[in-house]
Structure 1
Amino acid sequence: MHYDLIDLKVFLAVAEEGNVSRGAERCHLAPSSVSLRIKGLEENIGTALLKRQARGVTLTPAGHVLVEHARRCVAQLEQMHVDLLPFARGLTGHVTFFANNNAISSHLPDDLARFFTLYPSVRITLEERMSHDIVAAVAAGRADIGVVALETEHPELDFLPYREDRLVLLAPLGSPLGRQGVVSFADCMDEPFISLQSGAALHTFLMNHASALGKRLDIRVQVSGYRAIARLVSSGAGIGIVARSALEESDSEYLDIIALSEPWARRDLRVCVQRRPHETNFFRDKLIEILCSGTESHPSEA
């Protein structure tokens, strides 16, 4: 494929403007130059991308596909420039950090704030992943640090205590489930669930446990965060399962917060790092110190 980033940007401009001249003006190029670039792009790809009409252009089916891919490519390159910019401005360090949704939604914001107070010029790439994926990423060196809720060992990793936590069931205030005090996951299967979106670690975790029971969760609504789950449950829309640490003190006024009897409801979080890192990283080590020092100052919230 003999085309470049400029060809993709020109094509996107024309596609979004619906007009070659306006697309050319947006790219600060002559319309004839833009037409030649798009013609060359079509020849290289082997199919027409635009339908030329009297009042402009429209996308062919292939053009629609290329627009989506081109947008992602351009966005990824722009993000690369954004990520590199701090280095040009005197960035002193970078840490890649993978964590599960529980940690990101509850404990990590305060700990990262403590870190940035000490090291404001450091940049951290924080991504949400499933615990098994985090272990594999840290072992392979794709992440410097991980926070997992997984009772496992790995010959190349150390697992350090981070926080104690539990998954709890949320139900509307005064519900029959709330009067039981402790419930099993199986007892909840007939109720509609408010869940995190597909792909979130907790969503996958609960779907797998439901499948192990030979059942399926009745997902009524999928949302992006724990707070949305709590609000929808309090409104009577369904029940939900969240980390206890993600709840606020006032939530007990609007919700029944019920213990789950399953052993897997205990979700002790641990920091995982390479036992013998291939490279030294001062800021990775300082972040680990801050994460693990918080264990004593934040007692169990289970």
Structure 2
Amino acid sequence: MRFDLVDLRLFVAVADARSITGGAARAHLALASASARIKGLEEAFAVALFKRGRRGVELTAAGESLLDHARLIMHNVDAMQGELARFAAGLRANVQLLANTVGLAEHLPKALAAFLRDNPDINVDVEERESTDIAASIATGSAELGFAAEHALPDTIERFVFGEDRLMLVASRRGPFAGRRQLDFVEAAGHDFVGLTQATALQVHISKHAARLGLRLHVRARLRDFDAICQMVAAGVGIAVVPEAAARRCARTMPIAVLTLRDAFANRKLVICARSFKALPRPAKLLVDHLRKAAV
């Protein structure tokens, strides 16, 4: 079976463009050369990868399978080149980590700080994403490592539990929920909310659950910091849904009540995930090993 990275890059380009002509242009190849390479790929695998039509091409089932593998291979090649280039330039290795809002704000900072202290030649780029987006990026190979809520992950993604974090409702001790210890989220309908900014992954998660219940949240203020949100709640501006770790911490110094949400969306296991832990580059494996030890 003979093919090279040029063939795979061309295949991905043709699949994205849904046209051999368009793919050839994206790959900077002559049309005749591109057609010959696609034909060679199909002969090498002994399967048809595309269905040809008047308006272009569509992937066959075999083509869809190859596209998944090709994207992963190209991602790994690009990561390898970038990592080695940084070493050649005397720079540090880099690990990309996608994390949901709770992980980024409450769970990762301490663990990452210890890892970076012990590994001065490795940098970690953390990007905030919603858990479903993290799952999609890991599954397609466009990201190598994630910190997400387990319920959003398909079975094909490897993971280990880093910790558990419930979402809680916080309210002023002098507010309408004074004396309550738990409630269903629907009971909060009609009350003013203090929330995270709309682009925040956790706020998207909360808003989607509200929409499924037919609720529209009236948010009086949006902030990016859980402590600031709890301060607003303590002042009577509204109620809020925040991670339990943040709620308990703030309740020690602020006049707020912490209520358990009985809804299933509030119960979350937070996991470290990857398409394959064994296939990760060495710097990412070192981070994974560190996070395993730091897991609760």
Which structure: larger Rg? 1
| TM-score normalised to structure 1 length | 0.65
Deviation beyond 6 Å, 4+ runs, structure 1: 83-86
In 2 relative to 1, CA 276–180 (structure 1 residues): closer, same or farther, beyond 3 Å? closer
Q: For 2:150, what is the secondary structure of its paired residue?
A: coil
- The Cα shift of 1:88 comes to 6.7
Q: Identify which range, 167-176 or 102-111, moves more after superposition.
A: 167-176
In 2 relative to 1, CA 86–236 (structure 1 residues): closer, same or farther, beyond 3 Å? farther
Question: Structure 2 counterpart of 1:272, which letter?
Answer: C
Question: Structure 1 counterpart of 2:291, which letter?
Answer: L
Aligned pairs for 1:43-62 (under 5 A) are none
In 2 relative to 1, CA 167–280 (structure 1 residues): closer, same or farther, beyond 3 Å? closer
Could you report, residue by residue, the CA deviation over 1:62-97 in whole angstroms, capped at 9, with x for unpaired residues? xxxxxxxxxxxxxxxxxxxxx999757633411110
For 1:285, the equivalent position in structure 2 comes to: 285
Distance 2:114 2:192 in 1: 39
Q: For 2:97, what is the secondary structure of its paired residue?
A: strand
Distance 1:167 1:122 in 2: 33
Q: For 1:142, what is the secondary structure of its paired residue?
A: coil
Q: Identify which range, 188-197 or 219-228, moves more after superposition.
A: 219-228
For 2:215, the equivalent position in structure 1 comes to: 215
Distance 1:85 1:178 in 2: 59
- Decide whether the 8 Å contact of 2:106 with 2:245 is kept in 1: yes
Q: For 1:91, what is the secondary structure of its paired residue?
A: coil
The answer to whether structure 1 residue 187 and structure 2 residue 191 are counterparts is no
For 2:62, the equivalent position in structure 1 comes to: none
Distance 2:262 2:290 in 1: 32
Aligned pairs for 1:59-78 (under 5 A) are none
The answer to whether structure 1 residue 149 and structure 2 residue 149 are counterparts is yes
- Decide whether the 8 Å contact of 1:145 with 1:272 is kept in 2: yes
Could you report, residue by residue, the CA deviation over 1:251-287 in whole angstroms, capped at 9, with x for unpaired residues? 244211111111211121011111266x541111111
Distance 1:88 1:222 in 2: 44
Distance 2:259 2:89 in 1: 50
- The Cα shift of 1:155 comes to 5.1
In 2 relative to 1, CA 280–188 (structure 1 residues): closer, same or farther, beyond 3 Å? closer
Distance 2:90 2:247 in 1: 39
Distance 2:233 2:103 in 1: 22
In 2 relative to 1, CA 107–192 (structure 1 residues): closer, same or farther, beyond 3 Å? same
- The Cα shift of 1:174 comes to 3.0
In 2 relative to 1, CA 195–85 (structure 1 residues): closer, same or farther, beyond 3 Å? farther
For 2:259, the equivalent position in structure 1 comes to: 258
For 1:118, the equivalent position in structure 2 comes to: 118
Q: For 1:178, what is the secondary structure of its paired residue?
A: coil
Unpaired segments ≥5 residues, structure 2: 1-82
Aligned pairs for 1:1-302 (under 5 A) are 90-154=90-154, 156-247=156-247, 249=249, 251-252=251-252, 253-275=254-276, 280-296=280-296
Distance 2:217 2:175 in 1: 19
Could you report, residue by residue, the CA deviation over 1:160-207 in whole angstroms, capped at 9, with x for unpaired residues? 111111000010123231312101100001110001011111111111
